Structure 1
Amino acid sequence: HTQCDHSRHSTEEPSPPSPQVWKLSGADLCEIARNSVMQSGFPQAVKLHWVGPYWRVGPEGNDIQKTNVPNLRIRYRTDAYQAELRFVLAGAGTYQERIAAIAARSESN
């Protein structure tokens, strides 16, 4: 007696796992796993055991022996984040200056 999957139409094919669909590399998967642990609700002691000193910024917070995420990738992510943060903060300063100028003009009228 053979079992059949009655929940799937005969014309449908099983979908491949996400890494194949998105063409994720081993480093991609390791980075996703590291980030998942860091964002999880597990106790800090468990996170420390799994990924190392994750609270440090940049490669200093990456234990490559535990995460298998290359330090170069961590450095790139850190640099990109810091550049984006500088951009946003510069824009916020410009925005505040514009608001102050508009307020000054409306007060003088």
Structure 2
Amino acid sequence: MSDRGVERNDRVLKYIFRIPRYVTLPEHEASYRLTLSDDPEFMAVSEIEGDCENLAERIIENRFVLNGLNSELQEASDVIEVLSTLVTKLEGENGIETHSTEFSSSG
């Protein structure tokens, strides 16, 4: 390593070590409060990690389910399209007019 590299590393280390140990960085504030808390509402870090793993597994399972449902919806949509085309063709051959599926309520 050149003298310049050593000098730069020394400056970086001096900068890092000038921050007192008791200073908590904003991104570590929640973790710091969690480790010092006696509040029963707070979960232990190991419990949180376990919950995160469970949630990750559920997300994976739900993605597979969603993928299957999307596939089934696509198949149903394709069937509807084919049946609609078939009905239109049959109605055209028989000279039957297409009627609206909405019913008007008359009293």
TM-score (norm 1): 0.36
TM-score (norm 2): 0.37
Structure number with higher helix proportion: 2
Greater relative contact order (Cα < 8 A, sep 6+): 1
